[in-house]
Amino acid sequence: MTPTDLVPLAGLALVDSTSFGTLGIPVFLLARERVHVRAFLLFLATLAGFYWALGLLLLGGADMLTRTLAGVADLPVLGWAQLAAGVTLFALSWTVDGNATRRRTARRAASGVETGPTRRERWQAALVDDRPRARVVVAVALGAGLVEAASMLPYLAAVGIIAAAHPGPVTVAGVLLAYVLAMVAPALALLALRLVARRALDPLLRRLGTWLDRNADDILGWVLGIVGLLLAADAAQRLGLLQFG
């Protein structure tokens, strides 16, 4: 793989590092009075391992599909389909509005409708025991990975970039490993800072956790818009609708 391929992969990994599983839950755990380092590391290792295995599975399927449909990838209809998908994602991003979600929640609360804990709140609650059990931590990490995988469009786009470069199996495994490590790197950096500078970092972690929880829908909207724009631009260039350089 060339540096041209690796640069966008690094950017996509950075976007993926801001998901609720890779950053939201870790920040919640770090903001608590006591941090269970082993449980924290087990959570991140399980999540990273899940995405590494998922990437290998997807790339194996993509390689098989490429061999089966040799020559089809250059058909104009696929470029138009990608363009339509990109435009759809970009348009959809404008409908993912955190303010609208908060207004709906407020209306339901005012009308006396029982909302109950959200999935995120249930995940968090499962991790805050005085002695978190390993199987619970692993189960929550796998659950977060399974639920978020379909919506983590940057990760799926990264898999597409790797597949298009046609690297060997060893390179695929190495690049995917580097990618998932980059996904959890910000959470690991926050853990290190929390251990050496707790008093200074606690207020920041609480504010960051509150902001992530409040703006989760807005972040998803931005991700959808960015990925949709990139897909549409790539398709338009391959179809000759746009010329760069």
pLDDT for 202: 74
pLDDT for 76: 67
- C-alpha distances in Å from residue 139, one per residue of 22, 44, 123, 155, 227: 15, 12, 10, 21, 29
* Alpha helix (H) residue ranges in the chain: 3-16, 25-30, 37-68, 76-93, 98-110, 119-126, 134-149, 153-165, 169-196, 198-214, 216-238
pLDDT for 187: 92
Domain boundaries, the chain: 3-238
pLDDT one digit per residue (tens) for the chain, 245 residues = 677 668 788 888 888 888 878 888 888 888 777 788 899 999 999 999 999 999 898 888 766 645 544 454 555 666 677 678 778 877 876 776 655 555 555 555 556 555 555 656 666 666 766 677 888 888 888 888 887 776 677 788 888 888 877 788 899 899 999 999 999 999 999 899 888 887 777 777 777 666 666 665 665 566 667 667 766 776 777 677 766 55
Give residue 239's identity as a one-letter amino acid code: L
pLDDT for 36: 85
Report the distance separating Cα 141 and Cα 150, nearest Å: 15
- The answer to pTM > 0.75 is no
pLDDT for 242: 65
pLDDT for 183: 93
pLDDT for 219: 57
Q: Is 99 helix (H, G, I), strand (E, B) or coil?
A: helix
Report the distance separating Cα 70 and Cα 26, nearest Å: 43
Report the distance separating Cα 194 and Cα 196, nearest Å: 6
Report the distance separating Cα 39 and Cα 102, nearest Å: 32
Report the distance separating Cα 53 and Cα 67, nearest Å: 21
pLDDT for 50: 94
| 41-46 contacts, C-beta under 8 A, 24 or more apart | 41/191, 42/134, 42/137, 42/138, 42/141, 43/127, 43/137, 43/140, 43/141, 44/141, 44/184, 44/187, 44/188, 46/137, 46/138, 46/141, 46/142, 46/145
Task: Give the other-Cβ count within 10 Å of 3's Cβ.
Answer: 6
pLDDT for 70: 46
17 closest CA partner among 167, 211, 212, 196? 212
What φ, ψ does residue 30 adopt, rounded to 5°?
A: -70, -25
